[in-house]
Amino acid sequence: MDDGSTDSDPVTAGESSILDTLGEDVIRIVSPVSLCMLLVVLLVSSLSSTNDLSSSVSSLFLSSTTTPTSFSSLNLLLLGSDSTWEEIKSALVTALSFVVVVTLLTFLLVLLFYFRCTNFLRIYMGISSLFVLSFLGGFIFLLLISHFKIPIDPFTFAILLFNLSVVGVFAVFMPKFPISMNQGYLVAIGVLTAYWFTMLPEWTTWALLIAMSLYDLAAVLLPIGPLRLLVELAMSRNEEIPALVYEARPVDPQPGDRVRVWRERTDVRIEATENSTNSANVQTVQETRLAVSEEITAPLIEAFPQTGDRHLGTEEVEDGIGLGSSGAIKLGLGDFIFYSVLVGRAAMYDYMTVYACYLAIMAGLGVTLLLLAVYRKALPALPVSIMLGVVFYLLTRVLLEVFVVQCSSNLLMF
């Protein structure tokens, strides 16, 4: 009786430990994604007067308020003139071309990584980050300075932009920099890139979001997908992929915090084994404890046995969601960007649509994290969130917003 209860208690204690730390891991990845989307929405809202699309969105909103028909917005959105269909065709061609280019570049990345051109890839990523921070960021900063009439001279602006850009590149790619600076600059790069994508035509933006979701699904899950090949190659070599990836590590980790949960769980099991088998070999127990002390595993994902030099519980991601070598959850910066593009596009319409899209994206990200816990391998993070976001955008814009406007009109009549 005592032995049976002793064997069941460690498992229960281990499972409760996982549940206790599950929310912490989710918050560490949800918070930066939410911050990135919030900053993009604020930028779009502040600088929307410079976008020609705002006038057409305003006219569409006015037409929905003056026309009592509940499907007037749907008619304007889907049954437009011949020019609308031309825009849709152009958007499909643009999205397809973009996916083809991204696919070719990813296969090129796999080829260079296979031939161990890691230094070249790091230099290329550094130049790309410098371009985003200096040119794209500089232009957006100029728009903000002009919009808010901030007094600053060109020389000071150039010095500040140069310092922020150079420090940002080093913070992203130099491991000696604090993790907080690395995370902050990755979010900044995502915000700047996402805002530029929101300046694309409306139909092009939606076609691009759907196309990239399908590409992410195929690239990560198909056996010949470029991202899957890249992940498997990195795992076989036990190397990190030189890419812009956000790692949800704690900013100020406590010593042993990452391994505490699994160490406690396994230590309890070892103690139960000692109690139930008094004649066990002491040396075997000590070797088991040593192996446990060297194990580093994320609390969200259970540990896996090792085969040779390859750790099956560790996944490196270039775009998608998985586990890093430190055991932390990793999310590709492309996911940050396209999440933010969706809510940024919604912000060009109204904030009620933004709230709906944000909740849909968070729900999709939560589903992806649960799937990550089940399948324990790198998964595409775009498909579920983007599809839910697009559906909620259409439902909110076509049905919910028209219903709210009609209710408001009826209240004004009384």
In the three-class reduction of DSSP (H, G, I as helix; E, B as strand; rest coil), residue 143 is classed as helix
Taking only the tens place, the pLDDT of each residue in 327-339 is 578 899 999 999 9
Q: Which of 122-126, 255-259, 270-274, 377-381 has the lowest mean pLDDT?
A: 255-259
Nearest to 318 by CA among 113, 39, 27, 28: 113
Spatial separation of the C-alpha atoms in residues 364 and 76, rounded to whole Å: 29
Q: Which of 31-45, 173-187, 205-219, 264-278 has the lowest mean pLDDT?
A: 264-278
Q: Is the pLDDT of residue 385 over 90?
A: yes
Q: Are the C-beta atoms of residues 410 and 68 closer than 8 Å to each other?
A: no
pLDDT band at residue 376 under the 50/70/90 scheme:
confident
Q: Are the C-beta atoms of residues 226 and 107 closer than 8 Å to each other?
A: yes
pLDDT band at residue 156 under the 50/70/90 scheme:
very high
Q: Are the C-beta atoms of residues 312 and 274 closer than 8 Å to each other?
A: no
Q: Is the pLDDT of residue 370 over 90?
A: no
What residue type is assigned to position 186 of the chain?
L
Q: Which residues are catalytic?
A: 216, 335
Q: Which H/E stretch holds residue 363?
A: helix 351-375
Q: Which residues neighbour 82 within 8 Å (Cβ) at sequence distance 6 or greater?
A: none
* Strand arrangement, sheet containing 245-247: 245-247, 329-332, 321-323
Q: Which tokens belong to 34? A: 């939410």
Q: Is the pLDDT of residue 361 over 80?
A: yes
**Residue 136: what pLDDT?**
94
pLDDT band at residue 250 under the 50/70/90 scheme:
low
Angle between helices 118-131 and 82-114 (to 10 degrees): 140
Q: Is the pLDDT of residue 292 over 60?
A: no
pLDDT band at residue 317 under the 50/70/90 scheme:
low
> Average pLDDT in the 107-123 region?
93
pLDDT band at residue 320 under the 50/70/90 scheme:
low
In the three-class reduction of DSSP (H, G, I as helix; E, B as strand; rest coil), residue 207 is classed as helix
What's the whole-number average pLDDT of the chain? 76
Most confident of 63-72, 248-257, 358-367: 358-367
Q: Is the pLDDT of residue 35 over 90?
A: yes
> Average pLDDT in the 133-155 region?
94
Q: Which tokens belong to 225? A: 């997908």
Query: Token pair 């909740």 is at which residue?
Result: 359
DSSP annotation of 254: P
**Residue 183: what pLDDT?**
93
Q: Which H/E stretch holds residue 82?
A: helix 82-114
Spatial separation of the C-alpha atoms in residues 198 and 245, rounded to whole Å: 22
**Residue 297: what pLDDT?**
34
> Average pLDDT in the 284-305 region?
39
Q: Are the C-beta atoms of residues 339 and 385 closer than 8 Å to each other?
A: yes
Spatial separation of the C-alpha atoms in residues 392 and 356, rounded to whole Å: 6
**Could you tell me how many residues make up the chain?**
414
β-pair type (329-332, 245-247): antiparallel
**Residue 242: what pLDDT?**
82
Q: Which tokens belong to 370? A: 């649960």
Spatial separation of the C-alpha atoms in residues 17 and 28, rounded to whole Å: 17
Cα dihedral sign for 360, 362, 364, 366? negative
Q: Is the pLDDT of residue 17 over 60?
A: no
> Average pLDDT in the 143-158 region?
93
What residue type is assigned to position 221 of the chain?
L
In the three-class reduction of DSSP (H, G, I as helix; E, B as strand; rest coil), residue 31 is classed as helix
DSSP codes joined into one string, 266-325: HHHHHHHHHHH-TT--HHHHHHHHHHHHT----TTS----EETTEETT----SSSEEE-T
pLDDT band at residue 175 under the 50/70/90 scheme:
confident
> Average pLDDT in the 101-106 region?
95
**Residue 91: what pLDDT?**
94
Q: Is the pLDDT of residue 55 over 60?
A: no
Q: Which of 140-144, 285-289, 295-299, 386-390 has the lowest mean pLDDT?
A: 295-299
Q: Which residues neighbour 192 within 8 Å (Cβ) at sequence distance 6 or greater?
A: 132, 133, 136, 137, 140
Q: Which of 29-33, 195-199, 266-270, 338-342 has the lowest mean pLDDT?
A: 266-270
Taking only the tens place, the pLDDT of each residue in 177-232 is 899 999 999 999 999 999 999 999 999 999 999 999 999 999 999 999 999 999 89
> Average pLDDT in the 125-152 region?
94
Taking only the tens place, the pLDDT of each residue in 393-411 is 999 888 877 777 777 777 7
Q: Which residues neighbour 265 within 8 Å (Cβ) at sequence distance 6 or greater?
A: 10, 13, 14, 17
Looking at the chain, the whole-number percentage of residues with pLDDT higher than 70 is 65
How many CA atoms within 13 Å lie on the side-chain side of 108?
9
Query: Token pair 């939560």 is at which residue?
Result: 366
What is the distance between the terminal CA atoms of the chain, rounded to a whole angstrom? Answer: 74
**Residue 104: what pLDDT?**
96
Q: Is the pLDDT of residue 71 over 60?
A: no
> Average pLDDT in the 86-98 region?
94
Q: Is the pLDDT of residue 255 over 70?
A: no
> Average pLDDT in the 255-284 region?
43
Q: How far is CA 46 from the centre of its chain?
A: 24
Spatial separation of the C-alpha atoms in residues 144 and 129, rounded to whole Å: 21
